A and B are shown apart, each in its own frame.
Chain A
Amino acid sequence: MVVVQRKELTLLERLYLPEVVRGLSITFRKFFEKPITRQYPEQPLPKDAVTRGQPRLVVKDDGNIACVACGMCEVACPAYAITIDGGETDRGIEREPKRFDIDMLRCILCGFCEEACPKDAIFMSDELELADFSRAALLYDIEKLKRPKSTLQKRIDYVYKLNNRWRRAP
């Protein structure tokens, strides 16, 4: 059994009104201070390289996708959000994805796909907003996931720095 011991109130506290005035004085003081809340979405959130948004596929400077459909991200994905079907290509890498789907409703933005990728083809972008009127629209296919490498460069540099101890020096 829990015995609650109430605090003995002083005479000033028992008078009630002085305490109300003290409380309201804090409220009125806050009116004239700088607000710490943010007017989202009118004011966007600050984004940095550490922002782990939705995964996106890197399109290299030559216009080709960096992915070779190895399936590592598909295996690493704890939410089973990724589905890949590969196919043959005439490029030197021989294989490329014919289908690369990420179910954004399943994706939990954990970044395991980015970590698993041996080809630096998938990175967590700083895109965070995800809303639509249908579920089908949030099943992203390869065209919706493609991003030029330059837009992801900040994150790529950050990940390289983070994983540097595993990588051979360039």
Chain B
Amino acid sequence: MTKINVNGRDIEVDPKQPLIRACHDHGVDVPMYCYHPGLTPVGSCRICQVEVAAAPGQPARVVAACRTPVSEGMVVSTDTPKAHETRRECLEFLLKNHPLDCPICDKAGECDLQDYTFNEGQARGRSSEARRKLQKRKSLGDVIVLDEERCILCSRCVRFYADVVKKPQLTVEGLGSRSVINTFMDKPLTGNYQGNLADICPVGALTSKKFRFQARVWNLSKSLSTCAECSRGCSITVEALRGKEVKRFRPRANEAINKWWMCDVGRHALAPVSLPLAPEGSALGGRLRAACIRGYNGLEPAELHEALAVAADLVAAHPRPLLVLSPFATQEEAGAALELARALGSRVCFVAPEPNGMKDELLHTGDPCPNRRGLSQLGCEALSPSAVIEALKGARSALLVGERVLETVGCDALGALPSALRLVVFDVVARDLAALDACIAVPTHVEKQGHWINVDGHKGVLNVAVSAPQGVRMLDASLHALLQMVRATPAKA
């Protein structure tokens, strides 16, 4: 470790990291546009300039903190008038051609340029020349749209493709004031990591097409969560508009799992968490409210306790039901399910769909079970959907438990099962299957607390980002209630 002095405070820092990282790690704020902890520093924006002296008493120079390695005994001051003055001058040049788009810009509210201008900049521009006019809405593929006027040419996006994805697709085209970001040969961007460009862009030049103008970022309530799309379990932030409607998933820095990135598949997986509710008085055609049971006219909405009573009756009539867990079940839910299985004496397995061929070198594992490792550790047996169907064919009764369990097993295959089998399902959406006796609503993964274990054994937390619809009870609570009912009515031997 190297000892340096920052703003009169002695700190110990990693000699391999640049000075700006050392400052950030010790709570000293140094602004940055071109620097990103996950990318090679280039020192092009010059906004991170600080005053550095080689040793106490030595003359101080202004240097870019992102390109300066730390050295023993270095004296750094980020707050001197000279450092502020230098940064303010850089900022003025960056703002020279930056349009006054903040009211329209999607980045407003989380924009580094806006924040630092607010802290440091002057309220009025001194130049009388017109700002440059460039393309405002340039599509770069299906995910990203580029606003050339807003770009400050930090080249983070260029380096993202060069350093992280390792397949360069973007470049700075043209010279001097005519420089713009462009793809090679004007081809649209490809690959599964385009969405990250909107996150790393320090201004609003690269914005996400899906999120474009959907919400102002200060209206989004943010909660820590984990991505559900593969077994990597990237750490994400779930952002919901006014705490109600999930609007986007963004990666959250986690050095152990996903660094600063996430893939577009996970980023755009909003459909499963924004299903509309089923119409009032109906069990089908949307998210299930509370529960439903089979009546004379097919599936009818019911109270939770009525559906649980049907489940208790089923396991009393046909003991030792097969218990099939969803791959999205959390450790806590799986624990409750295992307790129930012990009381019923039944076999527990979880649906593990085949790898979906999305695997790549960076993050995506291709395995669509976010909690495969956790469920296996708890002693659940991983069965492919076809194996689950085979196991169900031999059973008299079964409980299918967890978010999206019907979908992962396959509704067509479940519909073709022999009618001797009776099913009770705990799922988000009910399906009109001949074998289905009752369905109990469960929350989606953005509506509950819990954790998953990812492919490398790291824990991924889930938190309540939006509240579950009225009447939907947490899955582990429903399973505990069923367990109480089962214990109260012993199975007929």
Contact = CB atoms under 8 A, between A and B. Distances in A.
Contacts of B62: none
A85 B108 CA distance: 15
A116 to B, nearest CB: 11
Contacts of A77: none
Nearest to B219: A71
B105 to A, nearest CB: 9
A43 to B, nearest CB: 42
Interface string A66-90: 0011111011000000001111100
A95 interface: yes
Contacts of A70: 102-104, 108, 216
Interface of A: 68-72, 74-75, 84-88, 92-95, 118-119, 168
A119 B216 contact: no
B216 A68 contact: no
Interface in B62-116: 102-104, 108
Contacts of B104: 68, 70, 93-95
15 contacts: A70-B102, A70-B103, A70-B108, A70-B216, A72-B103, A75-B218, A86-B213, A86-B214, A86-B216, A88-B212, A92-B136, A94-B104, A94-B136, A95-B213, A118-B103
Contacts of A119: 103
Nearest to A87: B213
The 9 closest A-B CB pairs, nearest first, are A70-B103, A71-B216, A86-B213, A95-B213, A95-B104, A118-B103, A88-B213, A68-B103, A68-B104
Interface in B208-227: 212-216, 218-219
A71 B213 contact: no
- The residue in A86, A87, A93, A118 that gathers the most chain B C-beta atoms within 10 A of its C-beta is A86
A34 B215 CA distance: 58
B106 to A, nearest CB: 9
Given A88-B212, A94-B137, A95-B213, A71 B218 contact: yes
Contacts of A84: 216
A34 to B, nearest CB: 51
Nearest to B214: A86
A88 B207 CA distance: 13
Nearest to A72: B103
Interface in B121-145: 124, 136-137
Contacts of B212: 88
A2 B128 CA distance: 72
Contacts of B137: 94
B473 to A, nearest CB: 30
A119 B101 CA distance: 11
A94 B124 contact: no
A16 B343 CA distance: 98
B218 A94 contact: no
Contacts of A88: 212-213
A85 B219 CA distance: 10
A69 B213 contact: yes
A95 B137 CA distance: 12
Interface string B268-301: 0000000000000000000000000000000000
